[in-house]
A and B are shown apart, each in its own frame.
Chain A
Amino acid sequence: AAGVIQSPRHLIKEKRETATLKCYPIPRHDTVYWYQQGPGQDPQFLISFYEKMQSDKGSIPDRFSAQQFSDYHSELNMSSLELGDSALYFCASSRRGGTEAFFGQGTRLTVV
């Protein structure tokens, strides 16, 4: 069965650079969520989109922005990267009326 696809799987950037993470939800899923998991931490909710509109916002820095496109894929744009942005970034998708959210394998971002 198709799962949530995230790309790239690994990304190394220097401080003050920008990064774009992509998420392709499960077909027919209309909602996408982004989470950040720092080393030894629990996943923290960043932002979510439903039908291409932002539906909820968590602890997302102002340096980050995200959007959901007409094909329901989502991109997380991160600018002025800091060392503390190094983390695993997970995307999850769900369907209205569904009973669970499914996660992708994550993108490991390392800022050096």
Chain B
Amino acid sequence: DQQVKQNSPSLSVQEGRISILNCDYTNSMFDYFLWYKKYPAEGPTFLISISSIKDKNEDGRFTVFLNKSAKHLSLHIVPSQPGDSAVYFCAASATSGGSNYKLTFGKGTLLTVNP
């Protein structure tokens, strides 16, 4: 039972355009969401996070949107750069007010940004 779903295994965009990566979750207890970027043979690198009390968080070229009613979040990268090419993992946690990062990951989306 996949509680965090990234339904697009891959996404290809042109340099300079917007990349939109989607993520859906089923567990209503999840209240903290994170996006990680991963290169082959390396550990996931934290990108951006959002708490369920917010619907948007922005950090430079990266913006995460959360729609709690739809149990859906998305990561927008604008403008996309070739160096953004990597696997992007969506992760969720049920923090219950603490700092619990027992993360449930999606299966990842391979983003390819073409020059």
Contacts and interface: CB of A to CB of B under 8 A. Distances in A.
A38 to B, nearest CB: 12
Q: How large is the interface on A (under 10, 10 to 19, 20 to 34, 35 or more residues)?
A: 20 to 34
Contact of A45 (B41, B89, B104): B104
Given A42-B89, A97-B99, A98-B99, A103 B43 contact: yes
B42 A31 contact: no
A95 to B, nearest CB: 7
Interface residues of B, number: 21
Q: Which of A6, A92, A98 has the most CB of B within 10 A?
A: A92
Given A42-B108, A43-B89, A90 B99 contact: no
Contacts of B106: 42
Interface string B24-51: 0000000000101000011111100100
A100 B49 contact: yes
Given A48-B100, A90-B44, A103-B44, 20 more contacts: A4-B43, A33-B101, A42-B89, A43-B89, A43-B103, A44-B105, A45-B104, A55-B100, A58-B102, A88-B41, A94-B101, A96-B98, A98-B99, A101-B34, A101-B46, A101-B101, A103-B36, A103-B45, A103-B46, A106-B41
Contacts of A44: 105
Contact of A42 (B45, B46, B101, B107): B107
Nearest to A107: B43
Nearest to A92: B101
Main DSSP-derived SS at the B contact region: loop
Interface in B70-115: 89, 98-108
Interface string A68-100: 000000000000000000001010101111111
Contacts of B36: 103
A94 B98 CA distance: 12
Contacts of A104: 43
A102 interface: yes
A92 B98 CA distance: 17
A8 B53 CA distance: 40
B32 to A, nearest CB: 9
